[in-house]
Amino acid sequence: MELGEPDESGRRRPIPIKGSEFVLDVDVVIMAIGTGSNPLLLSTVPDMELTKKGYIVANEETGETTKKGVFAGGDIVTGAATVILAMGAGKKAARAINDYLMNGESGN
């Protein structure tokens, strides 16, 4: 997709780019849209600690959850917030995940 010319309101609408479509074979897709917790995710991991509002409890600096080897960040931890905060949580979690994979534990 690309942005077309501005309409009467000044908004540029997305338009398809011919020939840009492709199919990607994957094993797992994790949907990351919306601002609420997915009941299916949470019901399949009953031993993960949640807040009163149903969000995942995670270490703010590493994204570590109460389930070993599981990391979380963004809206599923904080509730609705900005993309910038979610990106920051992802960056912190990526470091902790790397530490976990290399050493069996995160830095914190």
Q: What is the per-residue pLDDT for 17?
A: 94
Domain boundaries, given as residue ranges, for the chain: 2-103
DSSP character at residue 58: B
Q: What is the per-residue pLDDT for 32?
A: 65
Return the CATH architecture of domain 2-103: 3-Layer(bba) Sandwich (3.50)
pLDDT above 70 covers a percentage of the chain that reads 88
Instruction: Please give the mean pLDDT across all residues of the chain.
Output: 86
The residues, ordered by sequence, that sit 6+ positions from 51 with a Cβ below 8 Å of its Cβ are 57
Q: CA quadruple 48, 53, 58, 63: dihedral positive or negative?
A: positive
- Whole-model pTM: value is 0.61
